[in-house]
Amino acid sequence: MTSDSCGSQDGPDCTEVLAEVYRLLDRECPQEHEAELRKHLEECPPCLEQYGISEQLKQLLARKCGGEHAPDGLKDRLRETIRTTVEERSGTDIGDVPERTSSTE
């Protein structure tokens, strides 16, 4: 169970961390924001667990898709399933959290 801030007053809350877990895994976050997210993960076992699950899912997709990129439709369905699961478990609506674009684009 995650709260909005896990008791921490500094940095991003659980909702933001969970919404950005794939950007973190894909190394698409600006360095400053990545450091904030990783600090939160170090201090929040539920978010760290979700990060680990997401990392394993990403590795599984890479193995099963033969190293190719997963089709956009599959990625969209997975994101929606993960978002729904996070919302159900946390009781928080993260549907309105905007996706950030990569600083390298």
pTM score, whole prediction: 0.53
∠ CA 6-61-18, rounded to 5°? 15
Enumerate residues 6+ apart whose C-beta is below 8 A from 17. 37, 40, 41, 44, 47, 51
Q: For residue range 71-82, what is the model confidence (pLDDT) as tens digits?
A: 778 888 888 888
From residue 31, give the alpha-carbon distance in Å to each of 10, 40, 76, 77, 83: 17, 14, 26, 28, 24
Locate 6 and state its tokens: 């896990």
Q: What is the DSSP letter of 6?
A: T
Q: For residue range 20-71, what is the model confidence (pLDDT) as tens digits?
A: 888 888 888 888 888 888 899 989 998 988 888 888 888 887 777 765 677 7
Domain ranges of the chain: 14-89
CA atoms within 13 A on the CB side of 7: 6
